[in-house]
């Protein structure tokens, strides 16, 4: 069953956080005069524009700038906006970014064609500044909401498996760029099948949620928590291996003291944790493998422990 409370909480949190960040708008326009003008309008509307005049770099810009929305001129000299939109839409990661076309093209057939190839709206030049800002803001807002919804696990509100693995790739790249160490931990509830068997699935769900809540309370805002599988969590900690180990061991200890309530009984549960660090392991596959191996060892050695 879908736990809407956790989901709504998670989205509220995201919307509140997202609400503070200005919308990032990638402007793809071959006329620098026009690009500068749109950038000015959008900046005045509180957004964060970035201009791109060469369509060849569009995929790099998407990874680099992570725009909420793309404002694209239809005729770009070297290629046209239709073609570029089609290229962007082929990348699964960017499929959700709205593309708003901007052009003097008044031919309805061509406008329809642009939409069919992946555009979300069509604004004709000369633009009405208010209409431009309002249209971009409402589309960017909905796209953010949709992304938040799709990246969250419905029981816990944590990042889901797909989003977590995408995020780990991004964080590995960030660590390499900034030479900043971080750790990956895999956390698994011990003998969880027995909890379900003995107390029922809904009680099991509450145990999962209590672990999710504990992780959210104990880890830093910059750390990243995902529900990796049923009763398995993955965490990215921005700390070195020694510090991460200490924090995780505290969490393990604290979790083991939580008294879980069943209908006419109460019980305790424990977790096992495998942790590994960057740069000791460089690359997502190596990190997953090492953390998994450490988790396996923690289970094998008797559970309720952290292994690095
Ligand atoms: P181990 O200590 O080796 O991890 O033992 P375990 O029993 O936890 O491991 P196993 O992988 O055999 O069982 C995991 C169980 O978790 C099986 C599955 O029914 C249960 N599970 C997975 N997802 C959920 C969920 O969302 N809610 C509940 N209540 N149970 C879940
Ligand atoms: Mg043009
Ligand atoms: Mg298992
Ligand atoms: Mg388990
Ligand atoms: Mg498991």
- Please tell me which residue, 4 or 230, carries the higher pLDDT value: 230
Give the number of other CB atoms < 10 A from CB of residue 264.
5
pLDDT single digits (tens) 117-151:
788 888 988 889 888 999 999 999 999 888 888 88
Q: 0.95 cut: is pTM over it?
A: no
**What atom in ligand 1 is closest to the CA of residue 192?**
8
153 lines ligand 1 (CB under 6 A): no
**Under 8 Å between Cβ of 269 and 195:** yes
Radius of gyration of the chain (CA): 23
- The ipTM of this complex is 0.95
- 3-state DSSP assignment of residue 73: strand
| pLDDT on residue 60 | 82
* Minimum CA distance residue for ligand 1 atom 26: 230
Alpha helices in the chain (DSSP H): 4-20, 32-44, 58-65, 81-89, 108-116, 129-151, 161-178, 192-199, 201-218, 241-257, 284-300
Is pLDDT at 11 greater than 60 in this prediction? Answer: no
Confidence of residue 77 (pLDDT cuts 50, 70, 90): confident
What 290-298 contacts at long range (C-beta under 8 Å, 24+ apart), as own/partner pairs, is 291/184, 291/185, 291/186, 291/234, 292/186, 294/186, 295/186, 295/187, 295/188, 298/272, 298/273, 298/274
Average pLDDT over residues 88-99: 83
Using a 6 Å cutoff on CB, does residue 131 contact ligand 1?
Answer: no
Burial class (CB within 10 angstroms; exposed 0-12, middle 13-18, buried 19+) of 96: exposed
Instruction: Give the separation between CA 292 and CA 298, rounded to whole angstroms.
Output: 10
Per-residue pLDDT tens for 199-215?
A: 999 999 999 999 999 99
- Residue 34 pLDDT > 60: yes
pLDDT of residue 115: 81
Q: In this prediction, what percent of the chain has a pLDDT beyond 70? A: 93
4 pLDDT tier (thresholds 50, 70, 90):
low
What is the number of the ligand 1 atom nearest to the C-alpha of 196? 29
**Ligand 4 center from residue 249 Cα (angstroms):** 17
- The Cα–Cα gap between 240 and 277 comes to 7
Q: What is the mean pLDDT of the chain?
A: 90
Mean pLDDT of 40-56: 92
> Counting atoms of ligand 1 from 1, which one is nearest the CA of 202?
29
Q: Is 231 a catalytic residue?
A: yes
Overall residue count recorded for the chain in this entry: 308
- Cα–Cα distance measured from residue 124 to residue 102, given in angstroms and rounded to the nearest whole number: 6
CA of 242 to the centre of ligand 4 (A): 25
Q: Does 17 score more than 70 pLDDT?
A: no
- Per residue in 159-208, pLDDT (tens digit) is 999 889 988 988 998 899 899 999 999 999 999 999 999 999 999 999 99
Does the C-beta of 230 come closer than 6 Å to ligand 1?
yes
């Amino acid at each position: 069953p879908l736990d809407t409370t956790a989901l709504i909480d998670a989205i509220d949190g995201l919307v509140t956080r997202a609400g503070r960040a200005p919308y990032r708008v990638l402007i793809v326009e071959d006329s620098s005069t026009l690009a500068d003008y749109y950038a000015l309008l959008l900046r005045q509307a509180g957004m964060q524009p970035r201009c791109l005049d060469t369509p060849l770099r569009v995929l790099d810009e998407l990874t680099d700038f992570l725009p909420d929305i793309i404002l694209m001129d239809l005729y770009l000299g070297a290629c046209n906006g239709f073609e570029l939109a089609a290229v962007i839409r082929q990348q699964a990661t960017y499929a959700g970014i709205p593309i708003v076309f901007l052009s003097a093209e008044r031919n309805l057939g061509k406008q329809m064609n642009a939409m069919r190839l992946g555009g979300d709206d069509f604004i004709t030049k000369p633009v009405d500044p208010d209409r431009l800002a309002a249209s971009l803001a409402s589309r960017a807002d909905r796209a953010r909401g949709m992304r938040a919804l799709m990246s969250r696990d419905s029981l816990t509100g944590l990042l889901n498996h797909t989003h977590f693995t995408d995020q780990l790739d991004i964080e590995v790249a960030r660590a390499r760029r900034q030479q900043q160490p971080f750790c990956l931990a895999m956390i698994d509830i011990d003998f969880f099948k027995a909890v379900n068997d003995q107390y029922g699935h809904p009680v099991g769900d509450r145990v999962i949620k209590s672990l999710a809540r504990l992780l959210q309370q104990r880890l830093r805002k910059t750390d990243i928590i995902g529900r990796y599988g049923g009763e398995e969590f993955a965490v990215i900690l921005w700390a070195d291996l020694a510090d991460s180990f200490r924090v995780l061991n505290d969490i393990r200890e604290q979790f083991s003291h939580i008294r879980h309530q069943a209908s006419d009984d109460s019980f305790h549960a424990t977790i096992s944790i495998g942790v590994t660090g960057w740069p000791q392991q460089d690359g997502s596959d190596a990190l997953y493998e090492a953390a998994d191996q450490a988790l396996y060892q923690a289970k094998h050695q008797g559970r309720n422990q952290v292994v690095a």
